[in-house]
Amino acid sequence: MNPLESEALRRMQSLWTQTASHLVSLNSSLGLSHKTGEDVFELDEDKDFREDISFIVRPITLKLPEKATKPHNLSLFVILKGRVTIDRQQFKDNKKLLQVKSFSTEVAYFRDGFKKAVWGC
């Protein structure tokens, strides 16, 4: 991992940590498996990205209320994982800019503690 990739990784991790904090502040009973970016993002070193920097998004589990009227009834489980790719040159030119070039996600929703699949893709 070169210094530019390391800095980009730290920025992605920091953004997730901030996002997780905001999610929990919206609903303190929210179940979130990973609250720090270090647990979520890793550099994708399996691919040869010359123009891009790619990150693997490790699996994240969220326990959410299915209905807004019952914010403490955390009956919906969401699992997601994926990949995010940013533009290497844009980040090199402006360290504040994480311009996403591509992303992919795999998401699944379950009810009743993973007993009933609701939706997935």
| CATH code of 60's domain | 3.10.450
* Local confidence band at 118 (pLDDT 50, 70, 90 cut-offs): low
8 Å CB contact between 100 and 94 = no
Domain count, the chain: 1
Domain membership of residue 48 (yes or no) is yes
Domain membership of residue 12 (yes or no) is yes
- Span 11-68, pLDDT tens digits: 999 999 998 888 888 777 777 787 888 999 999 987 666 789 999 999 988 887 776 6
Domain membership of residue 120 (yes or no) is no
- Span 53-99, pLDDT tens digits: 999 999 988 887 776 676 667 777 888 899 999 999 999 999 888 88
Q: What range does the domain containing 75 cover?
A: 3-112
Domain membership of residue 33 (yes or no) is yes
Domain membership of residue 83 (yes or no) is yes
* Token pair for 104: 């992919």
Shortest CA distance to 61 belongs to which of 113, 121, 116, 18?
113
